[in-house]
Amino acid sequence: MDYRSGSTGRTLVIRFDHGDDFLNGLKEVIIKEKIRNGWFHVIGGMGEADVVIGPKKPVMPPEPIWQEVRSPREMLGTGSIYWDENEEPKIHLHTALGDHGESMTVCMRAQTKTYLILEVYLIEIIGFTASRPWYDKGGFNRLTFS
């Protein structure tokens, strides 16, 4: 375990409209606003997404189970933002997706298209230096403090 203490910086409220590319749009805002460390909540509708629903086996590195979501779902999620060693923002988002009373919890990864509206509340975290470089042993980008 490792941790740092920081404080909140700016708070951004972002609206995504029907058909907007959610993850790429969020990345654009992060880059434009120079958010190096952040936490966000998202609520609304997701029209489609490529998601990971778990590992095939509980080993490191994990082999992900991918699933395509191609119908509108209610969405409630939370995620974090840290940049990798190539100076690219890395978004880590876990979310619940609901469909007519059925629910699935996923790690949202790609091909995200907004259904109707998504609202994002992004909180900048300041006061320490962190990144999310590639972690060979785990096979993923891991939060790391400087």
Span 121-133, average pLDDT:
98
pTM across the whole model: 0.95
Span 51-66, average pLDDT:
97
Q: Report whether 73 contacts 9 (CB < 8 A).
A: no
What's the distance, Cα to Cα, between the start and end of the chain in Å? 14
Q: Which domains does the chain carry?
A: 9-145 (3.30.1330.80)
Neighbours of 3 (CB within 10 A): 8
Phi and psi torsions of 134, nearest 5°: -65, 135
